Structure 1
Amino acid sequence: MNAPVYDAAQQVAAEEKKNSLIRIVDDEDDVREALALMLRIEGWDAKVYPSARDFLVEDDAARPGCLLLDVRMPVMTGLELQREMIERGNPLPIIFLTGFADIDVAVSSLKEGAIDFLIKPADDEKLLASIAAAVHKDHRRRVGISDGTHVREALRALSERERDILELFMAGTTDAQVAERLSISERTVQGHLAKIYRKFSIHTAKEPLALMPDIRDVLGH
């Protein structure tokens, strides 16, 4: 069949971007504002905090997104904030930004669950890719999906017909359109979708859409 259009995955990514907040914690005014400006130009909603304490007091943890965090700050460092968030049970994804290439600090932060560790000034394209990945991880978590590592295995378990239906679904095709395209009944399409969901361990209505970017990435390679 033709290559999938991935409309569904693109729509999910756009919705995640629209509904997310990128927090920036850095004690340097010009760094905070430059990052916030760049992100807003790219369509992200961004909020800045001059210190870790300000973030802990003011941030709305209910809003999905991620945290861009400086390492070396007075009073509370970035690593100390990361540990405090862990103790408070706040799993907001963290991307560290630092002007110092400290391997030990980088390893420590990544072991504690940081998404990335970038050196200032970070390449915009690389930073934006890390932000998109972190935001998607946070959205997956909020709908009950811990990670997307099972996607490749699930795709391998699909039959040829199930994969055809999934790719049509990824392209934004309705059940009725899939049925017409494949000359089968809508009920048969729905039966195949149920099998697909089981193979992806999907249990709620929100999970299929949340997995679309992960499925797109695998199918696109």
Structure 2
Amino acid sequence: MTNPSSLYSGVADMPVRERQRLIAIIDDDEDVRQAIRDLMRALGFAAEVFSSAEDFLRSSHAGRAACLIADVNMPGMSGLDLCHHLSEGGRAIPTILITAYPTADLRSLALAAGAVRFLTKPFLEADLIEGVQVALGQDRS
């Protein structure tokens, strides 16, 4: 079995305090949530999962998340809507938006809303990890 840290050598170079900041994973698909959480934890990141944007916003973790990985298409508030909501409330969190239904317009909207990455499912683990590193580098909390 491959050592998860070898998936992206830059993670091992990150200070432990960087890897312990919270990554919130928001997706209505349980398998996707758990797979991303397991990957993040295997790499030494602190990670919590939420089945909806509303669940995340109601949680005690909303105020301390350093990075979001959110699905675009979810019942209720979408990942894109979540980005707007947080920005409008003065609490923009570096976000990686993921979707199985990409369009050029959606990509443009996501990046304009401040997403640090826009990934199409299925995506490479290395692309997600690189996005997390970028996101954590932007968060100064």
> What range is the shorter-chain TM-score in?
0.7 to 0.9
| Aligned equivalent of 1:84 | 85
Kept after mapping to 2: 8 A contact 1:95/1:115: yes
Kept after mapping to 2: 8 A contact 1:95/1:114: yes
Kept after mapping to 1: 8 A contact 2:80/2:113: no
Structure 2 spans left out of the alignment, 5+ residues: 1-12
For 1:57 and 1:70, locate their aligned partners in 2 and report how far apart those are by CA, in whole Å. 18
Q: What is the SS of the residue equivalent to 2:15? A: helix
Measured against aligned partners, the alpha-carbon deviations of 1:25-72 in whole angstroms (never above 9, x if no partner) come to 000111101110111111111100000100111043442520001001
Superposition RMSD in Å:
1.5
* TM-score normalised according to structure 1 size: 0.55
Change (3 A) 1:109 1:40: same
For 1:114 and 1:47, locate their aligned partners in 2 and report how far apart those are by CA, in whole Å. 19
**For 1:111-150, what aligned pairs fall within 5 Å after superposition?**
111-139=112-140, 142=141
For 1:121 and 1:15, locate their aligned partners in 2 and report how far apart those are by CA, in whole Å. 29
| Higher-helix-fraction structure | 1
* TM-score normalised according to structure 2 size: 0.85
| Aligned equivalent of 1:105 | 106
For 1:126 and 1:76, locate their aligned partners in 2 and report how far apart those are by CA, in whole Å. 25
| Aligned equivalent of 1:167 | none
Runs of 4+ in 1 over 4 A off after TM superposition: none
Q: Does 1:26 align with 2:27?
A: yes
For 2:63 and 2:78, locate their aligned partners in 1 and report how far apart those are by CA, in whole Å. 23
Counterpart of 2:112, as a letter, is K
Counterpart of 1:95, as a letter, is I
Q: Does 1:13 align with 2:12?
A: no
Kept after mapping to 2: 8 A contact 1:64/1:138: no
For 1:56 and 1:62, locate their aligned partners in 2 and report how far apart those are by CA, in whole Å. 9
Of the structure 1 ranges 46-55 and 79-88, higher mean CA displacement relative to structure 2 is found in: 79-88
Structure 1 spans left out of the alignment, 5+ residues: 1-9, 143-221
Q: What is the SS of the residue equivalent to 1:91? A: coil
How many positions carry a matched residue from both structures?
Answer: 129
| Higher-strand-fraction structure | 2
